[in-house]
Amino acid sequence: MKTDRLKKEFTEFFGAGREPEIYRAPGRVNLIGEHTDYNDGLVLPIAIDLSTYGLFRLTNEDKIRVYSENLDKFEEIELANLSRRKGNWTDYVRGVLSSLESRSKTISGFDLYLSSEIPVGSGLSSSAALEVVTAVGAIKTMNLDEVEDLDLIKLCQKAENDFVGANTGIMDQYASYLGREGAGLLINTAEPSHKFVDLGLKGYELLVIDTTVSHTHDDNEYNRRRRDCERAVNAINESTAGKTLKSLSDIPSEELDDILPQLEESLANRTEHVVRENERVEKAAGFFQQGRIKEVGELFFASHDSLRDLYEVSSPELDYLIEFARAEGIPGARMTGGGFGGSTIHLVPESQMDEYLKKASRVFEEEFEITPDGFPVSPSDGAKFQN
């Protein structure tokens, strides 16, 4: 069993002693609702069946010793310097622990062995999984005060925003912590609050195809889109007497026809994407629950087109895979994650899965001379529900 292998490796690395405690936090895929999370909008992610595992064992030392199997890197973090940024992967761990320290007073020394099944840096949120597994493991191992669900989620997001400096919304940590088997999480990021949506996937599977073309969230383009949205909100509030929008998601879709012509073209496009994408998320949640996968698929394609044409965050590799999906006649597919490379998600009939994935990989490789990484994912329990 995987956990036996990990325990053995833990002992080989850190030495014999008490058995480590094992915690797990999954990656996530966003089904629909892209670039809406930082606009106080709606998103519909699932936690996936790929996780980051953290093995924890308390020590009597004044430091945390942490090893990442994926990076084959080891570091020591002095307890006295928990809140000092290092500018590398340990900042995710440091960020979470220093927030916990300010809530719970004392953090003791421990050894931490990290091993992830989530491909790192491909949009499946290995970063949130790392934060969440660190938080959950640290709280349980050290017996720290219980943290409310939303506080834990926010604390992990804060590590990523303030410590690592990646200006991301709350969706990733939410899904990794609170995901549920068989369900999507319909999150209203403005509150934030969530509802579980039964995905009714009968006969269909979700396939992720990672283009393996890498993207990073501190990419200027990502921050530029965020600024575009703020500029659009300001422009609308200035030009319309009495308007006090807080975010683009406050715009009712029936007002778009009046509002869009007042904005410069790129801002009008960003605005239209956000408002319509929120509508698509709401509709998709309803269709999923009714098992109307064909209709969900049409919304996936529409979401992709909007991200390509209005939000301008797609890439030739992503577009290629979505055109492939259309040509193959599956219900729907779209880019997922921030864009500029990264992954796509496809709704594929179970009976076609093997053939579809093989063909997609072959034609993609012929076109780009890059081997994509494709794997079916299923909606899984988040870290809170691990047994």
Interaction between residue 122 and Mg ion (CB under 5 A): no
Interaction between residue 51 and ligand ADP (CB under 6 A): no
Which of the stretches 56-64, 122-130, 174-182, 275-283 binds ligand ADP when contact is defined by CB under 6 A?
122-130
What is the residue whose two structure tokens read 């995710």? 92
Count Cβ atoms within 10 A of the Cβ of residue 235 and give its class: 0-12 exposed, 13-18 middle, 19 or more buried.
middle
Per partner kind, with CB cut-offs from 5 to 8 A, the member of Mg ion, ligand ADP, none near residue 370 is none
Least gap, CB of 343 to ligand ADP (angstroms): 9
Per partner kind, with CB cut-offs from 5 to 8 A, the member of Mg ion, ligand ADP, none near residue 68 is ligand ADP
Site residues (CB under 5 A) for Mg ion, limited to 305-364 = none
User: Among 37, 40, 172, 381, which one carries the catalytic annotation?
Assistant: 172
Dihedral sign of CA atoms 101, 104, 109, 115 in order: negative
Interaction between residue 116 and Mg ion (CB under 5 A): no
Which of the stretches 70-78, 127-135, 143-151, 261-269 binds Mg ion when contact is defined by CB under 5 A?
127-135
Which of the stretches 4-12, 112-120, 317-325, 371-379 binds ligand ADP when contact is defined by CB under 6 A?
112-120
Least gap, CB of 54 to ligand ADP (angstroms): 9
Give the span between the Cα atoms of 57 and 51, in whole angstroms: 19
Give the span between the Cα atoms of 161 and 168, in whole angstroms: 6
Query: Could you tell me if 138 and 96 are in contact, meaning their C-beta atoms sit under 8 angstroms apart?
Result: yes
Give the span between the Cα atoms of 341 and 343, in whole angstroms: 7
Interaction between residue 125 and ligand ADP (CB under 6 A): yes
Q: Which residues contact 100 (CB under 8 A, 6 or more apart)?
A: 107, 135, 138, 139, 144, 147, 155
Give the span between the Cα atoms of 129 and 123, in whole angstroms: 12
What is the residue whose two structure tokens read 């290629």? 320
Interaction between residue 303 and Mg ion (CB under 5 A): no
Per partner kind, with CB cut-offs from 5 to 8 A, the member of Mg ion, ligand ADP, none near residue 121 is ligand ADP
C-beta closer to ligand ADP: residue 89 or 204: 89
Among the listed residues 90, 127, 247, 380, the single contact to Mg ion using CB under 5 A:
127
Among the listed residues 63, 85, 108, 121, the single contact to ligand ADP using CB under 6 A:
121
Interaction between residue 336 and ligand ADP (CB under 6 A): no
Report helix, strand or coil for 234. Answer: helix
C-beta closer to Mg ion: residue 159 or 325: 159
Interaction between residue 182 and ligand ADP (CB under 6 A): no
Beta strand residue intervals within 110-239, DSSP E? 110-116, 183-188, 193-198, 204-210
Nearest Cα residue to 379 out of 44, 122, 134, 123 = 44
Residue 207 has, within 13 A of its CA and on its CB side, a CA count of 29
Interaction between residue 130 and ligand ADP (CB under 6 A): yes
Least gap, CB of 125 to Mg ion (angstroms): 5
Among the listed residues 124, 170, 322, 360, the single contact to ligand ADP using CB under 6 A:
124
> Among this protein's residues, is 62 annotated catalytic?
no
* 111, β-bridge pairs: 57, 65
What does the DSSP assignment read for 33-96? --S-GGGT-EEEEEEEEEEEEEEEEE-SSSEEEEEETTTTEEEEEEGGGTT---SSTHHHHHHH
C-beta closer to ligand ADP: residue 331 or 338: 338
Q: State which H helix or E strand residue 213 sits in.
A: none
Least gap, CB of 70 to ligand ADP (angstroms): 4
Among the listed residues 30, 39, 127, 269, the single contact to ligand ADP using CB under 6 A:
127
Interaction between residue 189 and ligand ADP (CB under 6 A): no
Catalytic residues: 172
* Residues at the contact surface with Mg ion, assessed by CB under 5 A: 125, 127
* Residues at the contact surface with ligand ADP, assessed by CB under 6 A: 52, 68, 70-71, 89, 92, 114, 116, 120-127, 130, 166, 216-217
